[in-house]
Amino acid sequence: MSAQATAVGTVERAEAFAERILGGLDDAALVLLISLGHRTGLLDTLAALDAPATSTQVARAAALDERYVREWLGGMVVGGVVTFDPDDRTYRLPAEHAACLTTGAGVDDLSLFTRYVSLMGTIEPEIARVFREGGGVGYEAYDTFQELQRDETARVYDVALVSDILPLADTLVPRLEAGARVLDVGTGAGHAVNVMARAFPNSRFTGLDISTEGIGLARAEAEQWGLENATFELGDAAELTGSYDVVTAFDTIHDQARPADVLAGVRGVLNDDGVFLMGDIDLSSRLEENVGAPMAPLAFAFSVFHCMTVSLAYGGAGLGTAWGRQRAQEMLTDAGFGLVEVTKLEDDPLNVYFVARP
């Protein structure tokens, strides 16, 4: 290949990459607008309207200021989310768009994820600081994280935890029906525990987390639901005590300051005939195998802006995305689990589940 042809190819690749970045900027701005639409209820309001509506009608239905609503609608129109009729100045959210942008979409609602992007933006100065100084950023800096986690995972737990996720561990559901002692490690806002406690009244559930905010939310929900078989404790997951028939951990082990100690502790409190069900992000421990994987850049962003830095803030290993399928299996084996099954749900491309037994 001639030097001229090489130069032309380099220019073309540079232009194509620049176009990609420009498109990414547009998409990032659209994500922030969608986040705002979720937070203010505008997306749900548009979906509930029976006919195309003016900005005044949309604002009135959402109980919001018309001028702000009109500007937001403009962004939604140029971003291809909302349609606009210039003759009568009306807006409409197509049903096929509402199917992944409104709370009515259930587990298919992606609008809640956009709020994580907004949260990452607010924490960016602190992340830049620890890039220079080392260390990490603690939970106290993430003022809405526990609430977002609760709302995001609730959609999945409400629909699939009892019917699809728990049955991944053979015999687990009958055991919970009969009555078992269950510990949920890194319970966050405790919604998984409360869902299980309501579904299996003969079992007793304990949720453990280091977050005061999370435990407060968990206890409030348990009280609201009238659950007498769900309790929540503030504590370090690396210092487990007690004896349990079942231990669960959903999307939390890779965040831990001492993940190896946590897994060893799980094995220590788990009865010899018990089962450990662990769910986590479905990434490979080998970076090259994650290229092109669904939402992999988002997973790495989550790691930089939360998972890794929170672990480092407490003097931890900061596993981040180094925690993947292969590393997880190795650490479970090192913790003393003799049998580890790795499985996925057909409709869940983001998570992988490990069923570990002593």
pLDDT in tens, 86-109: 999 999 999 999 999 998 888 788
User: Rounded to the nearest 5°, which phi and psi values hold at 229?
Assistant: -110, 20
Q: How confident is the model at residue 339 (pLDDT cuts 50, 70, 90)?
A: confident
Residue with tokens 């709302």: 151
pTM: 0.81
Lowest mean pLDDT among 8-12, 25-29, 227-231, 326-330: 8-12
My answer on whether 125 and 98 are in the same domain is no
Q: Each residue of 194-225: b (16+ CB within 10 Å) or e?
A: bbbbbebeebbbbbbbbbebbbebbbebbeee
Measured CA to CA, the distance from residue 157 to residue 149 in angstroms comes to 12
Lowest mean pLDDT among 83-87, 165-169, 213-217: 213-217
The CATH number that applies at residue 331 is: 3.40.50.150
pLDDT in tens, 42-82: 999 999 998 999 999 999 999 999 999 999 999 999 999 99
Contact status, residue 277 vs residue 248, Cβ threshold 8 Å: yes
- Distances from the Cα of 135 to the Cα of 72, 94, 96, 108, 127, angstroms: 38, 46, 44, 36, 10
pLDDT of the residue at 81:
97
pLDDT in tens, 312-337: 998 888 888 777 888 899 999 999 99
Lowest mean pLDDT among 147-151, 172-176, 352-356: 147-151
pLDDT of the residue at 262:
95
My answer on whether 9 and 126 are in the same domain is no
Q: How confident is the model at residue 5 (pLDDT cuts 50, 70, 90)?
A: low
Enter the DSSP assignment of 234: E
My answer on whether 91 and 115 are in the same domain is no
My answer on whether 225 and 131 are in the same domain is yes
Q: Tell me which H or E stretch contains 7.
A: helix 3-40
- 121: containing domain: 111-357
Q: Dig out the tokens for 171 from the structure.
A: 């015999």
Question: Structurally, how many domains does the chain consist of?
Answer: 2
